[in-house]
Structure 1
Amino acid sequence: MTKKYITIVWHVLGCLAFLIIPLFLSPRPPGMPLLSPATMRDFLADGLMLIIFYLNFYLLIPKIYFRGKTFWYGVLILLGFLIITLLPSLMTGYVPWDPPQHMQRGMRGPIDTHTISAVPAALPPMRSDASFLTQVKHNIFLYIAVILFSILLRVRMKLFDTEVLKFKAEMSTLRNQINPHFLFNTLNNIYALAIREKSPTTASTILKLSGMMRYVVTETRHEFVPLEREINYTNDYIDLQKLRLTKNMNLSYRVTGVIRDQEVAPLVLMPFIENAFKHGVNPDQDSFINIHIDVNDNFVELNVENQKLKIDHEQHAKSGVGIENTRARLESLYGRNYTLAVHEDPLHYRIKLTLRFT
């Protein structure tokens, strides 16, 4: 929390410096007050640019630009450009497309020397579209710099997050590979013992667990794996979970569609299924879990629904972190080729994950 507060303080100080410093550094003619209309216009433009910077950094880039919606991103950036060039001028009383009346009179006919002499000396100089662009050109350059800087920061952050996820995945793989041959040999010995003692259920369970461990150790090294293996892993996981379920639990698990040569990221479906069993199973309460995997030629869709039961807060917090890590992994591997919809109410939790085959 301390680090979070320090970050907020630095952001606030940076914003204040961005707003205040130009007021003192901007050149002003002698005798012009500090809070002149031109200075107020620049102050408002800088404030709007700060708003656009944070909207671009936290919303437009991750939700639109990184999703491949470049046309709409360009439209919104152009809209922001029009806002910072026109709105501050309008708010300080200057209409760029409506030149002063004495300028309009001068454009209708020959110049009248008597008219010129009749104009008060305090009348502001005539302004045109060209002079308006001259007055706001520094805002235009600053706006371009703000947009490019926000994109650079966001891309750098995304690359950093990708490296962190890759490092965590490598560490996880290393942990899973701690003497795996010993584990597999031990499971095989227990499996043989169960066969000799004529315990087919125990033998089948051990065989499924061994297959799941082998999949985690070997297949997770790859970025993508055959969808058939991923679903086989899910089937074994569901079968093992059924061993601990009571009559109070109503479990529905279906896989529909035809599996051909599709590939998915390994263990990309499991966090949502594990989450349902973690928060939807309680032997003292009636509950249900519905899991449906639908395979199409172009995509695979996972629908999970479970009833929310009473759990300890620490376990719930860990699950939330796991889902967020999975979301970041999906963003890194699939980009705009996935959609994840989460619906939650006090009694139910539903997710719908769609992965388009690339």
Structure 2
Amino acid sequence: MPVELFKRPWLSFLVHWLAWEGLYFLMGLPLILAAPYRNWENFFFNYGLLGSVNFLLFYGCAFYLIPALFIKRKNIWALVISSLLLAFLFTFIKYRLEMWNFETKLAEVKAAISRIPAIDTTATGGKTGRQFPATPVSPMQWNSYVRAYISFSFLIIIIAFAYRLLLVWYGHEKVRKDLENQKLQAELSFLKMQINPHFLFNALNNIYSMAVLERAQKTSNGIMKLSEMIRYMLYEKEDEQYRVTLDKEISHINNFIDLQKLRYEGELFIHFIIEGDITGRKVPPLLLFPLIENACKHGIVQDPAKPVSIQITIMDKFLNFSIHNFKNDFLKDQTGGIGLVNVQKRLSLLYPQQDLLHIQNTRKEFDVQLQLPL
């Protein structure tokens, strides 16, 4: 059962422990029921206490050691060395518990013998006719114990490794199915938008031609930018990793900024800076766009002292995106926030278990920092 199903770590630990002990007891129950003498005390010691120690080894490897060293860091040697140390450590813990159990029972036997009164055994040839408490069997020496039980500790680590890989596979399958469903829903949405795209483009081209004939340069430019944006949203194809080239995404952003400039009288203060080489880089389509649209919609775009600042920095393996705006006191959308929620959901599907988006939202300012793997 995936630990991600539980919101509280202690609940995950408890459920896994109960499942482990339940299976442990079920495996050991036929043995004690078939035995001529049922020593329940030893049964609960072996399958309860020692079973819990084995569970701690399993849980620590499956949910802490393997994720930290193998899944995140891919450090095989550190995982092997840590596994060896843990196997010896938990074998030693079980050995000390076995010794403690033996010494406790031995002390009980000695106490029981000391309470038996002395009797004359001369007439019976040295035989008392009474049963003395059975002396507990001494556990192996440490060297023999390690040789006998260290392999069992390694088996538990192997089970933990297999279980964790099963969880990773399950998580990847879930993400893959979510992506397929999201892509299907997106395609259905695009189909709804594409009822007659040729009519839409023909209409825009006709209006553009009319604007040119009437010498309405500003209007014709706006229509052309809008046409290019719609064409990008409808027809730009993604690769098998749901990405498009960064230069096309930037061109789409620039078209949007140009449209914003056509909306207002006077100068607009939207600073868009690109640092690094964008050649051959790919990003998920329309992932940055809702953040820019949100900043232009709710920001102060005509105050030179409070511009909308957008920056894309290309690193070796990451794209760093930042956007900052001061909030205006008008144009409040009561149903807003859909674009931001959409970005967060897409990030969780495309890059599961990665904290990529950081938002600072104050009363007067809004700041977004996003780091995308390239």
TM-score by length of 2: 0.65
Q: Which amino acid aligns with 1:193?
A: M
Q: In the alignment, is residue 148 of structure 1 matched against residue 162 of structure 2?
A: yes
Q: Does the alignment pair 1:22 with 2:24?
A: yes
Match of 1:43 in 2: 52
The residue that corresponds to 2:39 in the other structure is 31
Out of 202, 205, 210, the residue aligned to residue 188 of structure 1 is 205
1:147 Cα shift?
Answer: 1.8
Counterpart of 1:70? Answer: 74
Gaps of 5+ in 2: 104-133
TM alignment of 1:200-349, pairs within 5 A: 200-222=217-239, 223-243=242-262, 251-277=270-296, 280-281=298-299, 288-295=307-314, 300-307=319-326, 315-316=336-337, 319-330=340-351, 340=356, 342=358, 344=360, 346=362, 347-349=365-367
208-217 vs 312-321, which moves further: 312-321
Report if the CA contact (8 A) 2:310-2:324 is conserved.
Answer: yes
CA-CA distance at 1:155 after TM superposition = 2.0
- What whole-Å deviation, never above 9, does each CA across 1:312-352 have from its counterpart, x for those lacking one? 79644762343231343256xxx9xx993625364543314
Select between 41-50 and 12-21 the one with higher mean Cα deviation. 12-21
Equivalent pair of 1:254/1:292 in contact (CA under 8 Å): yes
Counterpart selection for 1:169 from 176, 183, 186: 183
1:79 CA displacement: 3.0
User: In the superposition, relative to structure 1, how do residues 327 and 204 fare at CA in structure 2: closer, same or farther (>3 Å)?
Assistant: farther
Contact 2:356 2:372 (8 Å CA) reproduced: yes
Q: What is the CA–CA distance in structure 1 between the aligned matches of 2:235 and 2:278, rounded to whole Å?
A: 21
The answer on 1:131 being equivalent to 2:145 is yes
> 1:182-205, CA deviations, whole angstroms, 9 ceiling, x for partnerless residues?
221122122223223332222111
Match of 1:107 in 2: none
Q: CA deviation at 1:266?
A: 3.3
Give the direction of change, closer, same or farther, for the CA distance of 1:140–1:173 in structure 2 (3 Å limit): same
Aligned to 1:93: 96
Residues 270 and 309, structure 2, Cα contact 8 Å, conserved in 1: yes
Question: Per the alignment, do residues 64 and 42 of structure 1 end up closer, same or farther by CA in structure 2, a change over 3 Å counting?
Answer: closer
* Aligned-partner Cα distance in 1 for 2:5–2:17: 15
Answer yes or no: is the 8 Å Cα contact 1:194–1:203 preserved in 2.
Answer: yes
In 1, are the aligned partners of 2:20 and 2:55 still within 8 Å (CA)?
yes
Quick check: 1:302–1:353 contact (8 Å CA) kept in 2? yes
Gaps of 5+ in 1: 101-119
Distance across 2 between alignment mates of 1:43 and 1:314: 52
Distance of aligned partners of 1:79 and 1:216 in 2 relative to their CA distance in 1, 3 Å threshold: same
Take 1:256 and 1:189, find their aligned partners in 2: how far apart are those partners? 38
CA contact (8 A) 2:357 2:371 kept: yes
Percent identity, aligned pairs only, is 21
Aligned to 2:368: 350
Conserved 8 A contact 2:243-2:282: yes
Instruction: Give the partner amino acid of 1:50.
Output: Y
Q: Secondary structure at the match of 1:36?
A: helix
Q: Aligned-residue CA RMSD in angstroms?
A: 4.6
